[in-house]
Amino acid sequence: METKKHILSKSTFMLGCQCPKRLYLHKFRPELKNPGDEEQASIFSSGTNVGLIARELFLGGVNAEPPDSFSYHLSVEQTQKYITEGATIIYEACFNYNGVLCAIDILVKEQNKWCAYEVKGSTKVKEQFILDAAFQYHVITQSGINLEDISIVYLDNQYVRRGDIDVQNLFSKESVLAEAKELQSFIKENIVQFKTLIAQRKEPTIAVGAQCHKPYDCDFTNYCCVNEEEVTVQNSTRQAFINKDYLNEFISELQYPLFFFDFETLMPAIPEFDESRPYQQIPFQYSLHIQENKDADLQHVAFLGNGVSDPRESLIKELLNVLGKAGSIIVWNQTFEISRLKEIRRDFPQYEIEIDKIIERIVDLMIPFRKKQYYHPGFNESYSIKKILPVLVPELSYNELIIQDGTSASSTYAELKNQTKKIQDEQRKQLLEYCKLDTLAMVKIIKCIRDNLK
């Protein structure tokens, strides 16, 4: 078995399948990557945790994982050593065939036949996973292992945690052996093509297109994409528009007191709390700006979980108490808030009647902007509050905040329990400031609408 440095790995092969230009840039122009993507880093970390827990499906294995990302040749050698010594379960088994490298999450010998299991932090088998497995099947079988089967292991989104994690029910397994075999010609052809591309070191000429975001967002889009200014110029040809009749009716239907409301949520791949599912959005924080009448001063109320225990029941009890029984509850994108409330209602049915009454009072401030009844070319064809706010309320900005988006808020909260007391206190303050701005933004946008109706 070869142990020299590889030319292609599974990850670089998959980059090439998405776009050969992405493979080239990854190999030879990595400095052109987009600025660091915190969301992708969070997803990668979550996927790593899923892989470790999935090992409990096959206990007692040996680990062939390399000490670092530069030492896969050691992993290849260790894998061969384990196989020779008669190991029957190998985690991160690694193979290098003709300069092409792959690692499989779990390799199991059952009744003298090898089966491979690739773990994915997803809730279904996606098309790219099958291609990924087909590549692994090629490298492993060409390395001399006769695979009886190759399967994708993924999270069952119907699994509900009650007590300790039930690993056998948390995961589902699906064989993709037939599909992997059908793709072998495609795999071999592309390996030759990508090796040639790497050897020639010549950047392919490929226009931007659907491949830039499928199956994953490319990390070189800033380099490849068309000039943003051209898009802005095109969008600016539309004139500003305010439908006063529509907006008057929208405003007139609001009932005091007004509650400007926003959730922040956490989406753990492995459910952390009882009565929760993989990737369920768990509300851990809310902000409420309250206006008792048109001339009243604003009040602000907030909730933020402790970062350890399940925040949902404490959150909903406090929220129901503050919201009372009357007044419009104003949100931005009601689908999100209503979905979270319905999930809490499902998981904590003792609050069902009260939550239903809350849902009936929700008003979506996004709708006039989504329907372009209030339009400005500066929105750049978006109805995101973060695009609309700088145009309508330029003095109010997220740019001054440490946490500037929901993804950062979620990842910050997820790590609170691992921080020192000093860092926890500072980050809790940052989380509260971010969520508070979300609801204050809606207050200011309502005021802007009113001012334009005078």
Q: b/e string for 395-419 if b means 16 or more Cβ within 10 A? A: eeebeeeebbebbbbbbbbbebeee
Give the pLDDT confidence score for residue 294 in this predicted structure: 86
Q: Where are the domains of the chain?
A: 8-18+34-203, 241-452
Nearest to 13 by CA among 90, 92, 98: 98
Identify the pLDDT of residue 35. 74
In whole angstroms, what is the distance from residue 262 CA to residue 278 CA? Answer: 23
Question: DSSP states of 196-255 as a string?
Answer: HHHHHT-------SGGGSSSS--TTHHHHSPPHHHHHHHHTTSPPEE-HHHHHHHHHT--
Question: For the packed helices 184-200 and 127-142, what is the interaxial angle rounded to 10 degrees?
Answer: 80
For 213-237, give one letter per residue: b (16+ CB within 10 A) or e: eeeeebbbeeebeeeeeeeeeeeee
pLDDT of the residue at 225: 78
The Cα–Cα gap between 380 and 375 comes to 10
CATH number for the 241-452 domain, one of 3.20.20.60, 1.10.1740.10, 3.40.50.2300, 3.30.420.10? 3.30.420.10
Task: Report pLDDT for 40.
Answer: 44
Report the alpha-carbon distance of residue 134 to residue 157 in Å, rounded: 25
Per-residue pLDDT reduced to its tens digit, 310-323:
999 999 999 999 99
* Partners of 238 in the β-ladder: none
Q: What is the pLDDT of residue 453?
A: 87
pLDDT recorded at residue 247: 96
Could you say which residues of the chain have pLDDT below 50? 1-2, 37-45, 227-236
What CATH number matches the domain at 8-18+34-203, 3.90.320, 1.10.1760, 3.90.25, 3.30.420? 3.90.320
Distances (CA, A) of 437 to 219, 389, 414, 434, 441: 29, 11, 21, 5, 6
